[in-house]
Every structure is written in C-alpha cells, then in structure tokens.
Amino acid sequence: MISRLKTTILCVDDHWSGLIGRKMLLESNGYEVLAATGGDEGLRLFLSHSVDAVVLDYQMPGMNGDVVAAKMKRTKSHVPIMLLSSYGPLPKSKLEAVDTFLSKSQPPKILLSTLQQLLNRRPRPFFSRWFETWRSRNEGVRQ
C-alpha cells in the first residue's frame, strides 16, 4: 500500500479563477489539491479519491454547495467540509452539512488557518488511538 504523505484537499468552485487561485495557494502550502468546476464533478472526485477535507463554493449552477455537502456527508461523514460564499452570512439551514463557513473576501491566511483547524479536529483512525493508549500504558513498565 502506498502511503500518502500529503494532505489531499478537494476544491469545488464553478468560477475558474477562484478555483485556480485556491489550488495554487493550497499547493504552495504543501497540500495535494483535486479541483472540480461543479457539484457533479466534485461528488465524482469525492467518491473516487481519498480526500482529507473539502473546500466548497456555495453558489454554483445546477447544485449549490449546501446540497453537494449533504451528499458528501451521507457517504463519508468524517471528511470536514468548508463552505465558501461571496454572499455572507448564509442561513443556518444552508450550513447543516458543513463544518465551517468562510466568506470569500477573507484573506488567504484565514482560509489556511481555518483549514488547518478542521484537519486537526478530525477523528484519528482507530489504530493510532489504540497505539497511543498502548504506549501510555506500557511506558512505566520498561524502567
């Protein structure tokens, strides 16, 4: 099995310039980025790749970000989703399936720090939790 060293972020936005700008920002900060220009393509990538987080535009033709997020959460509820919008603040009903919301007018460093917080909050896989418990129990034994 090949281990992935880089954290993979899926970016979904129908505005090409915003999508590419975000992709370049994330890649220059060490992330692997999958880019999709709409909800359907975003869902296909989400289901066919292992992604660590999703950065999703709200206003898209065909399927808005809140609908895409709800579909993503139904299949992989552990993957954190950040919803972006030029139109702030969105009603609570639109944010039920997302983990955080940011206005597109926020500076890049806010996007990066918010994304890092989302990634840090993720539940860790069972094995790493088990190993840490085992290690802490056995630390006193080796003296």
Per-residue pLDDT tens for 5-39?
689 999 999 999 999 999 999 999 999 999 999 99
Number of domains in the chain: 1
Instruction: Please say if the pLDDT value at position 142 is more than 70.
Output: no
pTM of the predicted protein model: 0.82
**Which CB contacts under 8 angstroms, 24+ apart, belong to 73-76?**
73/97, 75/46, 75/47, 76/46
| 122 inside domain | yes
| 3 inside domain | no
pLDDT of residue 93: 86
| 143 inside domain | no
Q: Yes or no: say if 115 and 133 are a contact pair by the CB < 8 Å rule.
A: no
* H runs (alpha helix) in the chain: 16-28, 39-48, 65-75, 108-121, 126-138
Domain containing residue 122: CATH number: 3.40.50.2300
Angle at 65 between CA 112 and CA 116, to 5 degrees: 15
| 40 inside domain | yes
| 83 inside domain | yes
DSSP 60: -
Closest CA to 76 of 35, 122, 120: 122
| 129 inside domain | yes
| 48 inside domain | yes
Asked whether the CA dihedral 128, 132, 137, 143 is positive or negative, the reply is positive
Instruction: Please say if the pLDDT value at position 143 is more than 50.
Output: no
Phi/psi for 101 (5° steps) reads -130, 135
Residues 6+ apart with CB under 8 A from 90: 58, 66, 83, 101
3-state secondary structure of 61: coil
Which domain does 131 fall in, by range? 8-138
- Mean of pLDDT values over 73-98: 89
pLDDT band at 72 (very low <50, low <70, confident <90, very high): very high
* pLDDT, tens only, 86-137: 877 788 888 999 999 999 999 999 999 999 999 998 665 555 556 666 666 6
| 21 inside domain | yes
